[in-house]
Chain A
């Protein structure tokens, strides 16, 4: 088994070496920029096990659990060791959270919103570059630093290498069809993948290399793809495994939608912006339903998956709007799917497990 350090441990170590921690909310942001200012981005996708009543003091019950939990986490001291909060824009709910933080909650740390354009047009790229520059200026203001282009480029290259490793891990997962014993479970696989959310890129690269060298990514199981925002509660992954399924790829906002392609521009700002603009389709960046369909279809073809599990967070409008058409389109080309909705803070309902088992039986 490969040892993955815990978040707290990682943060402590990073701080010991003089660095600072930036808590970053979902979904897209320029990691390399933060690293160039010696901030370690540590992402906040919920998390699931917090006392949500703290978020409930600011938010209505019809706001998704990612936002509820993130606010509760902050209010219960979960972000105390961080020095900065970044709120990228993804949806109305995250936008609202960012605004509440700035105007009402006013945490100790500075809060920087980061707006992401909803298209891939020239004007979108230009705007995103200007947003990254604005974030640069804000970071510069609070740190007094002004990393030069060479430093930025160096950080970008490390992040790109980490993204390549992430891609390699996924490829190994679906290519390794060996049936022998000792293969890692869905949960173990995602523990590795999701460590990208808090490990420094350099450490993630090492972890990925070690995993690729030592672990068995094969194993039995009906190959399936998952799509949604985040695989929380992570028990879902074990439940799929126990029902006989193997997750061979995903279209999760926290994972597969952030396999950023390497760039080639020599302008670091443009290169960071392009990576986000050219990332796999994502509804929160305005990708068309057709693009998402093509992407999923291709994933199914390449990985040999037999079906798609849409695993969404309750009240997540971006996902909910796409699902009926997306599922119909998949059905038309013979790709079955199932939709499961969860509140990330709730234990996995028995009914969900039953539905997954039934779905996998159909695929068999």
Chain B
């Protein structure tokens, strides 16, 4: 850690950046401007909280820009157990979130091509390609990414992250903590949970060494409590989708999920989601629906198509279709009840082995069916995500079973979460059109 880095951090982040971003946010909140070309005839205006989301994310990346030398930096997978690192004062960056941001800002293709030119195949996960491209070229829409001092890869979303993080470890020449979470085909055996717990315990001295600090269990409990609170609020927000018309759609959830992924364990994240819940409740009181004339309600399965969120929201909204629930966004809330701040390590072991992505294809189908019932939905869109195999394998059977066994209309939509080359617009429209006809 260096004095120059500390000074730069305080000056640029704490003084200038934070103040500037707050003023920007206040200004945006006052004006409540609806983005150009926003189809207000189809969709409700963006949530007011959007200005705060933007402020939070911008501040997060601004902090990252000046983090090296000021605090230890860890790059972590999106389902990774971040609480120990937060309690040790790490700045935590989620490459997948950065990838999603690049996707949403239509910057992912350029970065992906950087990785492909280096030799990485177009067949590997497009988040990985985006971030490896950023790593190799130094390009990013957020200015600059901090170099990691430590990597934490947790296999509870996929094995891909393990392969990906080994590339990062080689490039940055930094240690990698692996939290291997055995895949739950049906139920996690006791020895698998014990294994995760042992790895969490073993990660502490490594993270302590990198941070130069001793972990305070009091602090860890506090971080875990905040994590739980934020996850519970997020879950509440998603459950509000049960109301008709649904106050927010999954497309709103995709846009506002970044803090629950990358800022878990922080007080500002709890405040943020409390405010978001309040706004959602106001919408409910006023009878505002995310889709103005909600006629049909759908489930979304798998990752968002980041570069076409608005297109999909409008295309479906035009037909009075609101996509109100998603297995993906639910993943960051549904495990909240398992988190126990009084038993941080034990409860983390269970929480982190059970996300939907680490569970069998039959469980995913069961979850989809439950959500269709709970949210009173008319059908499901299963995004068959070309470069996310763990989420997509099983969808063919899931779709067939939804239709045949439960009479739920379901569509398999071929695309990719971050690679626009895998999105054939005309084909997507045609598939959506015939699906919409089926719903009528």
Residues on A close to B: CB < 8 A? 57-60, 62-63, 89, 91-93, 95-100, 102-104, 113, 115, 117-119, 121, 123-124, 126-127, 130-131, 134, 283-284, 286, 288-290, 314-315, 317-318, 320-325, 327-328
Contacts and interface: CB of A to CB of B under 8 A. Distances in A.
Given A60-B396, A62-B389, A123-B195, A103 B167 contact: no
Contacts, number: 155
B170 A95 contact: no
A188 to B, nearest CB: 32
22 contacts: A58-B397, A62-B392, A92-B158, A95-B159, A95-B183, A96-B361, A99-B185, A99-B360, A100-B393, A103-B360, A103-B361, A117-B180, A118-B178, A123-B195, A126-B198, A286-B178, A288-B169, A290-B170, A315-B123, A320-B124, A324-B120, A327-B119
Interface string B355-384: 000001110010000000000000000001
B351 interface: no
A327 B120 CA distance: 11
Contacts of A63: 389, 393
B396 A118 contact: no
Nearest to A314: B123
Contacts of A317: 123-125, 159-160, 163, 389
Interface string B183-207: 1011001011011001100100000
Interface in B373-418: 384, 386-387, 389-390, 392-397, 401, 414
B76 to A, nearest CB: 17
CB-based closest 3 A-B pairs: A96-B393, A103-B362, A324-B119
A89 B183 contact: yes
A93 B393 contact: yes
B410 to A, nearest CB: 15
A290 B171 CA distance: 11
A91 B159 contact: yes
Given A130-B189, A322-B166, 10 more contacts: A59-B396, A95-B390, A95-B393, A96-B361, A99-B394, A103-B362, A104-B362, A115-B182, A117-B182, A290-B170
A59 B412 CA distance: 12
Contact of B195 (A95, A117, A284, A286): A117
Contacts of B159: 91-92, 95, 118, 284, 317-318
A contact patch SS: helix
B121 interface: yes
| From B169, B189, B384, B394, residue with most partner A Cβ within 10 Å | B394
A125 to B, nearest CB: 11
Contact of B397 (A100, A131, A321): A100
A118 B180 contact: yes
Nearest to B173: A290
A289 B191 CA distance: 29
B227 interface: no
A123 B396 contact: no
Contacts of A92: 158-160, 389-390, 393
A115 B392 CA distance: 20
B128 interface: yes
Contacts of B180: 117-119, 124, 286
A2 B389 CA distance: 42
A288 B170 contact: yes
A97 B360 CA distance: 10
B118 interface: yes
A59 B124 CA distance: 17
Contact of B396 (A57, A103, A288, A320): A57
B162 interface: yes
A122 to B, nearest CB: 8
Contacts of B178: 118-119, 286
Nearest to A133: B191
B166 A321 contact: yes
